[in-house]
Amino acid sequence: MNEQASGHRTGPVRSAAARDAILAATARLFQGQGYDHLTIEGIAKEAGVGKQTIYRWWPSRGALIAECLTDGRLIPIDFDVPYTGDLLRDVEEWLGSVLAILETPHGAMLLRSLVSAAAEDAEVGDHLSASLGVDRHLAERLAAGILDGQLAADAPVELLGHAVLGTIIVQSLTRRPDVAGALRELVRYLVTAR
């Protein structure tokens, strides 16, 4: 009797199922209780696996969060920045997509938890920046803005993107009431200053 006919799975299929269960449990627990209360023991129990199975693939809970970000389990991945020919409008549209998630009570809590995780594991911060499209899409759109003459030729596109991301994080941590307004003002200044 072959493995498929018997209904028993072995080898890589079982490992893939365990991996998925671990990442799903991590995302559920992280979203429900935040990073400070997330434990490897809790993830193992939620996923129905042993702690050693988790540690076989991930060295820390931060590494688990980073992979959940990469997989799009915590926030959508790859926020695109449109290219309409109007740099300010395109960057504001990207910002609106990011803020649509972060302005919800759950999204704000999620971002604060991600910042807490990034403080322990730099990989989480890298993956957060990548998930929001800062390092790729926003930087590419800003670089195109230089070519279009809408941004100064010496504009540091990566630093501009990180300035916006940093402001998103600081505004979220301080829980200021008009995060969107402050961010739009910053974007207008950064994109129109020459």
With 0.85 as the threshold, say if the pTM is over it: no
Token readout for 66 is 């980073």
Longest dimension (CA), the chain: 72
Condensed to tens digits (0 to 9), the pLDDT of residues 28-86 reads 999 888 888 999 999 999 999 999 999 999 998 988 998 888 888 888 766 788 899 99
Identity of the residue numbered 5 = A
Six-digit token string for 21: 């269960």
Q: Where are the domains of the chain?
A: 16-61, 87-190
Per-residue model confidence as pLDDT tens digits over 114-147: 888 888 888 888 888 888 888 889 999 999 999 9
CATH number given to 16-61: 1.10.10.60
